Structure 1
């Protein structure tokens, strides 16, 4: 269906592709992986025709429709979410918009004299709308939006008033409703809560076109793709299997390549030693000559390119008391909506609580009360003795000073620390070389999240309060963070929609439900086993 043959592409001085090829067939679900800046978005844009390769050819079978979801969402205000989603389906949405205008005109007393024409036009438009199965389309649009956690009110409200994350969902819903022959999804799992993520997973499993997607969510990727294409050093390499299988194969390939490289290096060293030793002796001249020729003809094995993976190690945090935080008879509401009523909740040393609940259940509010940035309306929140807290809030990244460089930002937080240890800290969180001199205002969401995390973990707290810490992180940084937090000796309470993160780090679950709060003694894995589902909104209240 889609083929890239011997593609070459350069952006400025950066070479993205050299003679790279890949093919995508109907029914295949493919994950696109590679380090940041390797050219994943450029590849998508070449398939859609928004960019052309410098050399080589992109071919798509005639008649194949392509839907592309990117992180750049266009302007959508002035319409409801439902009509913005139906827009993706072409003429039906235009007819729906005209019907809405005509309905308003029929109810307008100032237009009584035009009524015959309006009613006649309405009949024509409605007839055409029905022919195109328009009513079913609206139902399907609402179904997709509901799957992405939209309430009825939000579906019918103006898209312009939605936050960036919700607008992303509208753009995604548009592609899903379109059901094109080929879907290109760039980070569709960003900005989704757990329920929406699991719904999207099921939707994509049932999609019968060709799917090419990137995602920083390991679990999501594993469950959907059966093939992985890796961009690395200008070439495209295809692996069959899911993400875990790709990682194993890649590691195995690197190991074999390293062994091959070392064997060749040993052989070359031996030959060179012989040449050096006997080159001055006439009796060995022919042997020396033949070995020199042999060396010239040998294809040199390149060592595998090392992926930079730096481990962050926690310095030992001072020990806290056994009672870390205690919430007693806590009431909290917004306007007429009550979120907590008489909540009693206790966190003990070394417990790792993950907080689960549907959108709007009060997960972030609970963390804010624990962190002291929001007060309960009634009741008390008390921190225990010797507790030193680190709080990662969803808006933490907005608090960085845009004019400071990464290094100045770290230095401002830790004036006593030496340059060497701050550079090492920056390196652990992916700021190497010139990255350390970037101004905070030009950092991507992922880079800002890494900088905030570096600041929080350098002077180690013994109690971590984390609100969606992995939202902007790539897979490599997530893995580093999970490994570091598994070694963390303190206490944690956190919210995340990343199932790999939840399963790896929690040993307690607090579930927020409409009927009150439930506590589970095991971690997320035990919670899934006991409730039979992966998210609160997906299992029957019992």
Structure 2
């Protein structure tokens, strides 16, 4: 259906692809992986025709419809979310627009003399609209928006009043409603809460078209794709299986390549030693020449390219008292909307609480109450003895000084630390080489999150409160963070939509539902096993 044949592409000085080939067949669901900057977005743009390869060609079967969701959603304003989504539904939206024009023409007295032609055309267009299931379009659009977390009020409101994250969901809904032959999805799991993520997973599993997607959520990718295409070093390599299988196969291939490289290096060393030893002896001249020629003809095995990952290790945090936080009869409302009424909740040392709840249930509000960034309307919130708090929230990224570089921001926070120590810290969180000289204003969302995390964890608190810490982080950085937090000796309270993160780190779970607050003694894995659901109100 879509074929990339011997494509080469260079962006400035960076070589992105060298004679790379891959294909997307009808109904295939493929995960596209590779380090940041490897060329995933460039590949999407070449398929959609926004960019052209320098060499080779991109072939698309005639009549194939393609829907492309990217992180750049453009301007949206002046229409309801429902209207915006329906407008992107492909041919049916064009027919709907003509139908609306003809309906307006039929009641326009100035066009009375054209009425016969207008009515005839209206009949044709209406037939085509019915053929495309147009009358069900509004209902389908609302169903998709509801699945992505929209309330009726948000569906009807002006899309221009929505935040960037909600506009992303509108753009995604347009592609889902369109149901093209092939969907190209660039990070569709960003900006989604757990409930919306699980709904999208179910939608894509049931979708009969082809999917080529990137995602920083390994669990999401594992459940959808049956094939992985990896971009690395300008090449495209295909692996049959999900992301988990790809990781195993890649590690195995790397091990085999390393063994092959080492065998050849040992053989070369032996041959070179023989040549060096006997090159001055006339009696061995023929043998020496023979071995020199043999070495010249050998195809050298390259060592496997190793992706640089730096492990971050916590310094030991000071010990807190056994009672970390206590909430007693807490009440909190925003206007007429009550979030909490008589909430009692306690956190003990070394507990790792994850908080689940649908949009608006009060997850972030709970974290704000615990950290003192919001005051309760009733009741008390008491922090225990010797508690040193570290709070990661999305707004923390907004207070970075845009004119300071990454390294200067770290120096400002830790003036007593040595340069080597701070460079090592920056490297652990993905800022190596010239990256430390980037100004904070040009950092991506993921880079800002990593910098704030580095600042928080260098001098570790004994109580970590994390609100969606994995937003914008790639899979490798998430793995590094999970590994570091697994060895963390302190107490945690966190909200996350990443199921791998939830399962790896929680040992307690707090579920916020309309029926009240429920606490579970085990972590997320035990919660799923006990309730049969992956999120409040959703059956798995």
TM-score (normalised: structure 2): 0.95
Deviation of 1:100 (Å): 7.5
Contact 1:83 1:93 in 2 (8 A): no
Q: Report the counterpart of residue 333 of structure 2 in structure 1.
A: 333
Tell me, in whole angstroms, the C-alpha distance in 1 between the residues paired with 2:435 and 2:273.
Answer: 43
Q: Report the counterpart of residue 198 of structure 2 in structure 1.
A: 198
Where 1:473 maps in the other structure, the secondary structure is: coil
Tell me, in whole angstroms, the C-alpha distance in 1 between the residues paired with 2:458 and 2:112.
Answer: 74
Q: Report the counterpart of residue 256 of structure 1 in structure 2.
A: 256
Deviation of 1:149 (Å): 1.0
Deviation of 1:24 (Å): 1.3
User: Runs of 5+ in structure 2 lacking a partner?
Assistant: none
Mapping of 1:99-118 within 5 angstroms? none
Q: Report the counterpart of residue 284 of structure 1 in structure 2.
A: 284
Please list the CA deviations of residues 244-289 of structure 1 after superposition, one character each: whole Å capped at 9, or x if unmatched: 1000110111111111111111111111111001000000000000
For these two proteins, the number of residue pairs brought into alignment is 536
Tell me, in whole angstroms, the C-alpha distance in 2 between the residues paired with 1:431 and 1:118.
Answer: 68
Please list the CA deviations of residues 61-85 of structure 1 after superposition, one character each: whole Å capped at 9, or x if unmatched: 1111111000000222111111111
Please list the CA deviations of residues 373-406 of structure 1 after superposition, one character each: whole Å capped at 9, or x if unmatched: 1111111111000000100011111111000000
User: Runs of 5+ in structure 1 lacking a partner?
Assistant: none
Q: Report the counterpart of residue 11 of structure 1 in structure 2.
A: 11
Mapping of 1:86-125 within 5 angstroms? 86-90=86-90, 92-93=92-93, 124=122
Mapping of 1:225-244 within 5 angstroms? 225-244=225-244
Q: Report the counterpart of residue 316 of structure 2 in structure 1.
A: 316
Contact 1:70 1:187 in 2 (8 A): yes
1:372 aligns with 2:391: no
Q: Report the counterpart of residue 357 of structure 2 in structure 1.
A: 357
Contact 1:105 1:118 in 2 (8 A): no
Where 1:472 maps in the other structure, the secondary structure is: coil
Q: Report the counterpart of residue 534 of structure 1 in structure 2.
A: 534
Contact 1:254 1:304 in 2 (8 A): yes
TM-score (normalised: structure 1): 0.95
Mapping of 1:132-531 within 5 angstroms? 132-531=132-531
Where 1:538 maps in the other structure, the secondary structure is: coil
Of 86-95 and 65-74, deviating more is 86-95
What CA RMSD, in Å, does the superposition of the two structures yield over aligned residues?
2.2
Tell me, in whole angstroms, the C-alpha distance in 2 between the residues paired with 1:232 and 1:91.
Answer: 37
Closer/same/farther in 2, CA of residues 342 and 241 from structure 1, 3 Å limit? same
Tell me, in whole angstroms, the C-alpha distance in 1 between the residues paired with 2:313 and 2:32.
Answer: 30
Contact 2:205 2:224 in 1 (8 A): yes
Tell me, in whole angstroms, the C-alpha distance in 2 between the residues paired with 1:103 and 1:369.
Answer: 55
Tell me, in whole angstroms, the C-alpha distance in 1 between the residues paired with 2:384 and 2:245.
Answer: 45
Deviation of 1:147 (Å): 0.8
Deviation of 1:23 (Å): 1.2
Please list the CA deviations of residues 97-132 of structure 1 after superposition, one character each: whole Å capped at 9, or x if unmatched: 6777999999xxxx9988999999799489465564
Please list the CA deviations of residues 137-191 of structure 1 after superposition, one character each: whole Å capped at 9, or x if unmatched: 1111111111111111111111111111111111111111111111100000000
Tell me, in whole angstroms, the C-alpha distance in 1 between the residues paired with 2:265 and 2:236.
Answer: 27
Deviation of 1:18 (Å): 0.3
